[in-house]
Amino acid sequence: MRRTFAGILFLCLLPLAGFAHVGSPNVVFEGQAGPYPIRVIIRPPPVVPGLAEISVRALTNGAQRVSVLPIHWRAGFKGAPPPDVAKPIPGETNLYHAELWLMTGGAYSVHVSVEGAAGLGTVIVPVNSMATRRLQMTGFLGALLAGLGLLLFAMLVTIVGAAVRESVLTPGLQPARRAIWRARGAVTLAALILATALFGGKRWWDNVDRHYRNNRLFKPVEVMASVQSDGIQHTLRLEIDDKNTGSLSWAPLVPDHGKLMHTFLVREPGLDVFAHLHPTRRSEKRFEALLPPLPAGEYRIYSDVTHENGLSKTLVATVAIPDGPAGSLTPNETDPDDSWHVGKALEVARPASNGEANAANAQVVRLSDDIVMLWERPPELIANRDVSLRFHVLDGDRQRVRLEPYLGMLSHAVIRRDDGTVFTHLHPAGNLSIASQQVFELRTQQGQVRKRITPEMMEKMCRLPSPEESRRAFSFPYEFPQPGVYRIWVQVKVDGRVRTGVFDAEVSVGTSQIGS
Amino acid sequence: MNSIVPAAMGQMAQAETTSTAIPRLKAIPWYCYIVALAATSILTGIIWDISWHSTIGRDTFWTPAHMAIYLGGTLGGFCGGWLVLKATFWPRPEERASSVRFWGFHGPLGAWVTIWGALAMLTSAPFDNWWHDAYGLDVEILSPPHSVLAAGMYTLVAGALLLLLSLQNRSGPAQGTVPGSGLFVYVGAIMLAMCSIMVTEKSLPNQQHAALFYKIACWQYPLLLVALARASRLRWPATTVALIYSALTCAAVWILPLFAATPKLAPIYNPVTHMVPPQFPHLFIVPALAMDLCFRWIGRGRGGWRDWLLVLVIAISFTGLFFAVQWHFSKFLVSPAAENWFFNGKGFFTFADQRGDHWGRFWRLQEDAVTLKAIGICLVLALFSTRLGLWWGNWMAKVRR
């Protein structure tokens, strides 16, 4: 029964899937705009053309002016209007707000500029622009429009009747019976003509809606997932069928942290198995990955890809993994950056006490015999409010462990709501596609709309974390899109091995800071 | 059902005369100026809004162009509403006598039509707002909610015409200038300008060597010009309407570029620096002059063989003259010689139009060629259009309430 419900829910969620992340369309970025550390949240519109909202929080004092400029990937700087100045939000410190006009579908780069005493700093935040919603009319509005329409209909036919009956009469004369009957005939005829016009209008509306659904509404990318077995090992195969057209169509991919595809597997319904794999491309739309020794079960698959036009997508599928063959893979046989975790991490009863960590709200899980991960859990997590999820990795002496870069980052996190309505892949820089950001930086450096982006060009854009950063606490900026229970998997690399900490979080109801 | 009509209802096919005498007007009533102002405000708002979208791109509900349109709707609606309330609750005898009945209320036909137009404009607002939320911000100019708005605007202007007509037709002799006749052709010219704006996207100078432009013109313009000319009491009504239309459009062509503005929406392919004006007006003046001459030669008597002769002669003259004049004039308009403030040769292209050689040549010459068959279709359309225009004009010439 539960599985059936989950299946129905999955079908309901398909319209949300396919664009970057699932049920979490807002883009969150935290990083440097020149000398200024900032956090940016972009809330894209559900239809295009539409207005996106952007909030920029300066994380230190000194910012005096914040401006934003969205640039479509195909137009470039040459076709850009002057940037908009973001206005400070009353009652908030260092929080600015602006609206962005996204006029066409496809990837946009939002150039966020901060000016202050330390000069000018700019950073690029990519955002997908695509229609993702089919709006139904509310009952009240429908009734209001129907009432007004009926009134207009009745008035118009009455006007026709009055025009035929008495408009040409000399003032003071009363209409003759013949004129009255002619007016009645005219009213009937006008009603028929008007009804025909309304019928035509309804067909016109239906055509517009059909065109919107077929050509402008983003279509979830269909992925056929299967497990192939040769008796020795299991291979996960993903076959992609993208029916989107124009700027949203399937374009060449660019590597993100050196990988064309990042695939996450989560076992349903307990969310007790997690894997982070990197399938290899076998053809343009077929990818394969050797499966690690995962326990059998129904798995939900999420695959992140980034196109060379800057568009990022999350492909969603389900697959049933059978029991592993006798000679299942060992870690040495898979992609060296693949990782997996079975079971919820063991929670340590006694919170760690570290000078910087807030022990009162801390939650600690064990990563190995002598390493723990500590989450400085905020007192309250509220939906639609930006939050920093801050973690420490400590050794037996409660000292910070040196983290090694894992896929070019110090840490990765995956967040999923328990019912599957939300999925997102986070980095310390936020949930944006780093590859998309790099693509736009490349295009900006070139000063033109570059047609092709090569892996070598992307490789040069990668920046590894500094040694100083590797011994610091790390955090993920995020904005939970809805209340509920979430599971968070946090991955770090220590002593050459990827370790995964698993946490649960309950998020309460809240409203947007901008709207509130 | 109504206290005024029972006597008439009880008698067969005879109009009953009441004792109301309509005093002859010496001055134009205030409401005529208000509805003419409302029509002017709507036209100004439409031209301004198109220029706004062509230049700046982004807009809100509160742009001055939108305010001008809604001011026109409000003025027309309230004016019509007041006339109805006055004629229903506090009427002078002549006001009640020159009203039509409507759900127990009384008022001039034009007042009811302006009220309908204002209500339609009002209805379009929440519909359009929902449409933006559902399908995006103004993806296409021609959408169902915009059609409701356009229907409201056209109807409101038509109501203004009817108010002025009833005044004209109740005043003075059947020939010659009477109070309201000048305002009537002025509002008629506004209607002509609105009709031409409606088909702007198919009427650019670069499209004036394709058959579609002439098919649209031969269907749309004879109907309106003939109806206005038939209903007007001026000596040269069609010519006057065409002249006022040209003056209004030229005013927009010459005034809008005086204001600096830059695009605020990406992508910008044509970095304009001033408000983008409309294209130079069509040369309706020539076929309109021919139309007036036809009316003068054949006569203004209504019905019978004269009307059919008028249909034939006007349709042929309009098709032939408009084709000949606009075909050659458009050659000039797409040439570099027209690139000046007066003719606004290529100045009507928006910030989103990609510059290129195609700006200086005609489009769809092969796909939509002007052939003998196309000209024949234009003539047939003009015949239908003129016939309908004459019927409409004959009715308008009799409207007295």
ipTM for the predicted complex comes to 0.86
Closest chain B residue to A209 measured between Cα atoms? B135
Q: What is the pLDDT of residue B23?
A: 57
pLDDT single digits (tens) B75-85: 999 999 999 99
Q: Are B224 and B192 members of one domain?
A: no
Q: Which residues of A touch B20 (CB under 8 A)?
A: 171-172
- Strands A381-382 and A497-508, sheet pairing: parallel
Q: Calculate how close chain A gets to B139, using CA atoms only, in Å.
A: 7
Task: Based on DSSP, count helices (H) and strands (E) in chain A, helices before strands.
Answer: 5, 28
Higher pLDDT: B46 or A309? It is B46
Contact between chains at A172 and B7 (C-beta distance less than 8 A): no
Q: Of B147, B167, B198, which residue sits at a domain end? A: B198
Per CATH, the number for A27-129 is 2.60.40.10
Say how far apart CA A21 and CA A173 lie, in whole Å: 74
Query: Is residue B135 located within the same domain as residue B213?
Result: no
pLDDT value of residue B312: 95
Residue of B nearest to A130 (CA): B136
Dihedral angle, C-alpha B17, B21, B26, B27, nearest 10 °: -80
Percent of all residues in chain A with a pLDDT value above 90, rounded to a whole number: 47
Specify whether B243 is located in the same domain as B310: yes
* Backbone dihedral region for residue A358 (phi beyond 0: left; psi -120 to 50: alpha; all else: beta): beta
Q: Tokens for B278?
A: 């409309």
Q: Do B185 and B220 sit in the same domain of this protein?
A: no
Question: CA A499, CA A371: separation in Å to the nearest integer?
Answer: 10
The answer, yes or no, to whether residue A357 has pLDDT greater than 90, is no
Residue that terminates a domain, selected from B139, B171, B198: B198
Residue B172: the pLDDT is 62
What's the whole-number average pLDDT of chain B?
89
- Do B290 and B192 share a structural domain? no
In chain B, what residues touch A81 (CB-CB under 8 Å)? Answer: 57, 262-266, 268
Among B17-21, B257-261, B296-300, the range of highest mean pLDDT = B257-261
Q: Please name the member of B8, B57, B100 whose beta carbon is closest to the beta carbon of A162.
A: B100
Out of B115, B139, B263, closest to residue A49 by CB: B139
| pLDDT of B96 above 80 | yes
B67: in domain: yes
pLDDT tens-digit series, residues A274-317: 999 999 999 988 999 988 888 889 999 999 999 988 899 999 99
pLDDT of residue A335: 76
> With a CB-CB cutoff of 8 Å, which residues 96-125 of chain A face chain B?
101, 103-104
Residue B9 lies in a domain: no
Reported as a single tens digit per residue, the pLDDT across B169-208 is 887 665 556 778 899 999 999 999 999 998 998 999 999 9
Tokens representing B52 are: 């706004």
pLDDT band at A147 (very low <50, low <70, confident <90, very high): very high
**DSSP notation for A342-376:** ESPPPBPSSPP--SSS-GGGEEEEEEETTEEEEEE
- The verdict on B172 and B227 lying in the same domain is no
**Residue B16: inside a domain:** no
**What CA dihedral angle connects A253, A256, A260 and A263, to 10 degrees?**
-120
In the predicted structure, residue B239 carries a pLDDT above the cut 60: yes
Statement to judge: residues B276 and B143 lie in one domain: no
Domain count within chain B: 2
**CB contact (8 A) between residue A172 and residue B268:** no
> DSSP strand E in A269-408: where?
273-277, 280-283, 286-290, 297-307, 312-321, 339-342, 362-368, 371-376, 381-382, 386-394
- Residues B117, B231, single domain; the answer is no
pLDDT tens digits, residue range A78-109?
A: 778 889 999 999 988 899 999 988 888 889 99
Looking at the partner chain, which of A49, A145, A159 has a beta carbon nearest the beta carbon of B136? A49
Judgement on whether residues B130 and B248 belong to the same structural domain of the protein? no
Q: Is A215 exposed, middle or buried (0-12, 13-18, 19+ CB in 10 A)?
A: middle
Q: Do A135 and B262 touch (CB under 8 A)?
A: no
A166: which chain B residues are within 8 Å (Cβ-Cβ)?
100-101, 401
So where are chain A's domains? 2-13+219-507, 27-129, 139-216
Six-digit token string for B234? 């001026």
The per-residue pLDDT for range A33-83, each reduced to its tens digit, is 999 999 999 999 999 888 999 999 999 888 899 999 998 887 777 778 889
Residues B187 and B238 in one domain: no
**pLDDT greater than 80 at residue A359:** no
DSSP at A404 = B
Of the ranges A139-148, B108-117, B349-358, which one carries the lowest mean pLDDT score?
B349-358
**Ramachandran assignment for A452, one of left (phi > 0), alpha (psi -120 to 50 degrees), beta (any other):** beta
Min distance B23 CA to chain A CA atoms (Å)? 11
pLDDT at A406: 85
Percent of chain B past pLDDT 70, that is, above it, reads 91
- Tell me: pLDDT of B22 over 70: no
Specify the length of chain B in residues.
401
The residue segments making up the domain with residue B140 are: 26-198
Q: Based on the fold, state whether residues B234 and B374 are members of the same structural domain.
A: yes
Determine the length of chain A: 516
* Same domain flag for B172 and B35: yes
For A16, the enclosing helix (H) or strand (E) is none
Measured between CA atoms, the residue of chain A closest to residue B273 is: A81
What mean pLDDT is reported for chain A? 85
Residue B17, domain member (yes or no): no
Residues within 8 A of B (CB atoms), A 71-90 only: 71-72, 74-75, 78-82
Give per-residue pLDDT as tens, B308-337: 999 999 999 999 999 999 999 999 999 999
Question: Does B102 sit within 8 Å of A158, measured CB to CB?
Answer: yes
- Give the per-residue pLDDT at A459: 73
Phi, psi of A417 (to 5 degrees): -70, 150
The minimum CA-CA distance between A462 and chain B, rounded to whole Å, is 29
Whole-angstrom Cα distance, residue B149 to residue B128? 9
pLDDT in the model for residue B6: 35
Residues contacting A51, CB < 8 A, separation 6+: A45, A99, A100, A101, A102, B137
For residue B213, is pLDDT > 80? yes
